[in-house]
Amino acid sequence: MEVKVLNVSGKETGAKVQLSEDIFGIEPNDHAIYLDVKQFLANQRQGTHKSKQRNEIAGSTRKLYKQKGTGGARAGSIKSPLFNGGGRIFGPQPRDYSFKLNKKLKALARKSALAYKVKDNSVVVLEDFNFETSKTKNFASLLGALNFVGQKTLIVLASANDNVYLSSRNIQGTKVITADQLNTYDVLNAGKLVLTTGSVKTLEEALAK
């Protein structure tokens, strides 16, 4: 499929880029997307949550009162989970939430996410660009030219560009990444996906393997 290439002023350059049907035109696989997003979110979790069990609570282990004859329930020590300040039963413990997914499945998920964006007409292709200085005004002008102000926007560059990245940091809802950092979650989380001609080529080379 052919897509018109725009410049930073939002005007057509006259050039067109051919998006690969094997990547941007596939039938999306929802289950692959689900697994990849689940893994991405799981990997963000630190897993450092911790609550104390009764053997970790500071306190006496003296038996509070005699076993029988009180009319109340028997109790072993003040550290019992039944008492205020006691240990917690089956509380959270540090753990690793990450899990493995095959590379082919992750690639399928990314292709599926890109295909959804193309179907929704939410993909724009820009010619490769750069800012002379890192100013928020430059990036705001770019979003204004594309009519993306106030929308969640993901911009994918072919390679790292400090001026573009630093210019975007103060604008809420925008994210700038390189093609090798592209992930399913970011694509789906963005309302608009902006690719550069260089990043299209990089993505197609990476996902065609």
Q: Which CATH class for the 2-46+97-207 domain?
A: alpha beta
Q: What are the backbone angles phi and psi of residue 194, rounded to the nearest 5°?
A: -110, 120
Structure tokens that stand for 158 in this block = 């072919």
77 closest CA partner among 107, 97, 54, 52 = 54
Residue 198 pLDDT grade (very low, low, confident, very high; cuts 50, 70, 90): very high
**Could you tell me the pLDDT band of residue 13, with boundaries at 50, 70 and 90?**
confident
Segment 103-124 shows an average pLDDT of: 94
| Residues making up the chain, counted from first to last | 209
Q: What pLDDT shows up at residue 12?
A: 85
Where residue 35 falls among pLDDT bands split at 50, 70, 90? very high
Q: Is the pLDDT of residue 78 over 80?
A: yes
For residue 209, pLDDT beyond 80 = no
Whose tokens are 């949550």? That residue is: 49
| pLDDT at residue 171, as a whole number | 92
Q: What are the Cα distances from residue 207, in Å, to 17, 119, 158? A: 17, 19, 14
Structure tokens belonging to residue 144: 């204004």
Q: How many CB atoms lie within 10 A of CB 194?
A: 23
pLDDT at site 208:
82
pLDDT-derived band at 1 (thresholds 50, 70, 90) equals: confident
- Spell out the SS3 assignment of the chain: CEEEEECCCCCEEEEEEECCHHHHCCCCCHHHHHHHHHHHHHHCCCCCCCCCCHHHCCCCCCCCCCCCCCCCCCCCCCCCCCCCCCCCCCCCCCCCCCCCCCHHHHHHHHHHHHHHHHHCCCEEEECCCCCCCCCHHHHHHHHHHHCCCCCCEEEEECCCCHHHHHHHCCCCCEEEEEHHHCCHHHHHHCCEEEEEHHHHHHHHHHHCC
* Residue 11 confidence (pLDDT) above 90: no
Q: Where in the chain is the domain with CATH 3.40.1370.10?
A: 2-46+97-207
pLDDT digits (tens, 9 = 90+) for 176-194: 999 999 999 999 999 999 9
Q: Please state the pTM of the whole predicted model.
A: 0.83
Q: Is 89 exposed, middle or buried (0-12, 13-18, 19+ CB in 10 A)?
A: exposed
What distance in Å separates the CA atoms of residue 158 and residue 194, rounded to the nearest whole number?
12
